[in-house]
Amino acid sequence: MVQTLDILDIGSNGDGIARTDDGRTVFVPLTARGDVVEATIDKEGRGQLISVVTPSPDRAVPPCRHFGICGGCSLQHINNDAYHHFKRDTVLSMLEKAGVQRPDDVDAIFIPDHTRRRANFAARSVKGKTVIGFHERKSANIRDVPDCLLITDELRAAMEAFRPYVADIAGEGNKIDILIQCIEGQTEIALTGKIAPGWEAQQALSDALRATGAARISLRARDYDQYEMLLEDKPCYKNFGPITVNLAPGAFLQPSDEGEWALTKCVMDGAGDAARVVDLFCGNGTFTGPLGEGRDVIAFDLAADAIVALKSIGVQAHLRNLFKDPLAVEELVSADCVVLDPPRAGAQAQIQILAQTDIPRIVYVSCSPQTFARDAAILVQCGYKLEKLTIVDQFIWSPHTEIVGVFS
């Protein structure tokens, strides 16, 4: 049944929010606040947009011809002012709900398009045609996106150079995921899935390495498995301030150079003149390196390959599962600043301990407003103040947002 709905706002997942005549809340993707739309509604309260009856002043023409079908972006249909408001309001409303006072100093940095240096594509070859791109919205189908507006020209060139080899590498009809990273003039390709049996696949891998100019190609069977090297022409190095790290295959990096620089500046400003810094969830050393100039820095992470790489170049890095074994109060007494950049799940166990300390400054980098607000509330309840907040939008045209909060 088709219903006419007024879109009241955009929710944290990027979908328009409406209410039916009987008071039910409905989420309608691809709508803008102020739209009047026709939509169908399923039993879970999910709306399917049929038509826009009266467009909102916030509505804009999407810049990408794939928008609405490709699942890579969800917010190209609203104008810049509405988009910027959505990003800020999502973070600030989460803090308000958690009881955390909004700081006086709130800044926002919006990374431009065509800047993504890493992307995870899906690919499949059927009857001589290879599709390589992103999944369509709510579908297992793959949308070919040769003109994607998110990625750099360098990344696009690597994607297209790899395309002719997908059929032989994966086999007819088989899907394979392709992570491509362009790192300071180097290209890395990391595959998830199965390689087809036979010599043709092995030859195609070798040819793809040469055609793309990649430093290496690695493989894992499933998401979250560790990548194993298939072919390597040379190591893949990344500079983080004064340190140069030999990255493990498929190593996690920020999606753009611009985003990495913005986050690093926020962290450095937040650390101020601190002389002894503990860097938690340090990863490959994104902040460890820059912080180490003129400071004593100790780094911790559960990624064994990252810790081995950091230790090999003299960084004080330690393997530690901070979710199950957070640093104790007595291990933090000498620090005058703690920097932490946890995964989307946040760092609740470690934050509960940090809240018991009197460390002068805590700089918290987060990719989840929800878990950031939850953890911020713990610190605030124990006497810390959120004095500065910076929103770094490097997940362009998506509901995801990066945050840097400075607590004192």
Do 2-59 and 118-238 come out as alike in CATH topology? yes
Which tokens sit at 226?
A: 């560790």
pLDDT of residue 216: 97
Tell me how long the chain is.
408
Residue 174: which residues within 8 A CB-CB, separation 6 or more? 124, 193, 194, 196
- DSSP secondary structure string for all residues of 126-169: ETTEEEEEEEBTTSS-EEE-TT-SSB-HHHHHHHHHHGGGHHHH
84-113+256-407 CATH = 3.40.50.150
Which tokens sit at 14?
A: 């990027």
CA distance 183 to 199: 30
Which tokens sit at 108?
A: 């926002």
Which tokens sit at 298?
A: 């100790």
For 150, the 3-state DSSP assignment is coil
The answer to whether the beta carbons of residues 136 and 275 sit under 8 Å apart is: no
Instruction: Going from the first residue of the chain to its last (408 residues), give the mean pLDDT of each consecutive group of 10, the final group possibly shorter.
Output: 93 93 91 96 88 97 96 96 96 96 94 97 95 94 95 97 97 97 97 96 97 97 95 96 96 96 98 97 98 96 96 97 97 96 96 97 97 98 97 95 97
Q: Is 367 a catalytic residue?
A: yes
User: Among 325, 245, 336, 241, which Cα is nearest to 289's?
Assistant: 241
The answer to whether the beta carbons of residues 291 and 277 sit under 8 Å apart is: yes
Place of tokens 């969830």: 281
CA distance 65 to 133: 14
CA distance 136 to 132: 12
pLDDT of residue 21: 86
Identify the CATH class of 118-238.
mainly beta
pLDDT of residue 392: 97
- Domain over 2-59 is classified CATH 3.50.50.60: no
pLDDT of residue 45: 77
Q: What value does the CA radius of gyration of the chain take, rounded to a whole number of Å?
A: 23
345: left (phi over 0), alpha (psi -120 to 50) or beta: alpha
Q: Which residues pair with 143 in a beta bridge?
A: 134
Segment (H or E) for 280 = strand 276-280
- Residue of 236, 266, 367, 382 with catalytic role: 367
Helix residue ranges per DSSP H, 235-303 = 257-271, 288-291
Task: Tell me the CB-side half-sphere exposure of residue 49, using CA atoms within 13 A.
Answer: 23
**Domain range summary for the chain, segments of one domain joined by +:** 2-59, 84-113+256-407, 118-238
